[in-house]
Amino acid sequence: MVQYTIPQSPEDVLITISGRDSAKAREKAMDQLLEMMSDGELTADLDDGFTPKDFIEVKEHKTEPTPEENAVVDAVQVLSNLANLKVKVQSSRSEALQVRELVDLLFTDDVIEEEQLEELKSGFKVLKTFAQSNLRYRDARENAKEARQVLDAALGK
């Protein structure tokens, strides 16, 4: 969205056009200005003539985020990461625990069937991924405690 005003009456005229500042957007603004004039909504004197190039683009004043706002953004990112890790851990947990039971068979004198051995070999990747994700999750959960406090403070809890 782009907004325009006119130099003759900047406080009274504000025309909003979708898109960015361009010749086409200024032409659309000119159409709206002419419509305002014909409807009697414009009290400014444009006797000297007016072209689309004469419009003044009104830019929104952007303020820098405060340190508190930055802390909230960081806290939400930390908590989002924690949520993603938790989902990853939960989704691989049951399969990893099944593979873990097969690992116990390696330490017995029982015969391991070929099918179990293949399942064990293919399950090591799952086991590794789960273990790594679980460690990351535990670490992230510890770090997220501070993020939760920042968010609680911002929410007034």
Both 139 and 82 in one domain: the answer is yes
Question: What is the model's pTM?
Answer: 0.54
Both 83 and 151 in one domain: the answer is yes
Which residues neighbour 147 within 8 Å (Cβ) at sequence distance 6 or greater?
74, 75, 76, 78, 79, 82
| Cα gap 20→82, rounded to integer Å | 38
Using alpha carbons, list the distances in angstroms from residue 53 to 27, 40, 49, 56, 78: 9, 23, 11, 8, 47
Domain end residue (candidates: 37, 58, 79):
58
Q: Which structure tokens are listed for 156?
A: 């007034």
Residue 114 has pLDDT above 80, yes or no: yes
Both 51 and 83 in one domain: the answer is no
Count the domains in the chain.
2
Q: What is the mean pLDDT of residues 140-152?
A: 94
Both 71 and 139 in one domain: the answer is yes
The pLDDT-based confidence of 60 (bands split at 50, 70, 90) is: confident
Q: What is the mean pLDDT of residues 61-79?
A: 89
pLDDT score for 131: 94
Which helix (H) or strand (E) segment holds residue 17: the answer is strand 15-17
Both 37 and 90 in one domain: the answer is no
Both 6 and 54 in one domain: the answer is yes
Among the listed residues 25, 53, 50, the one whose alpha carbon sits nearest the alpha carbon of residue 37: 50
Domain that holds residue 150: 67-155
DSSP 155: H
Both 24 and 73 in one domain: the answer is no
Which residues neighbour 105 within 8 Å (Cβ) at sequence distance 6 or greater?
112, 116, 120
Both 96 and 35 in one domain: the answer is no
Both 42 and 118 in one domain: the answer is no
Domain end residue (candidates: 58, 75, 94):
58
pLDDT score for 37: 84
Which residues neighbour 19 within 8 Å (Cβ) at sequence distance 6 or greater?
1, 2, 25
Both 91 and 145 in one domain: the answer is yes
Both 43 and 96 in one domain: the answer is no
Residue 150 has pLDDT above 90, yes or no: yes
pLDDT score for 33: 87
The string of pLDDT tens digits covering residues 82-110 is 999 999 999 999 999 999 998 998 899 98
Both 90 and 130 in one domain: the answer is yes
Mean model confidence pLDDT for the chain: 89
Determine the angle formed by the axes of helices 114-155 and 67-105, rounding to 10 degrees: 160
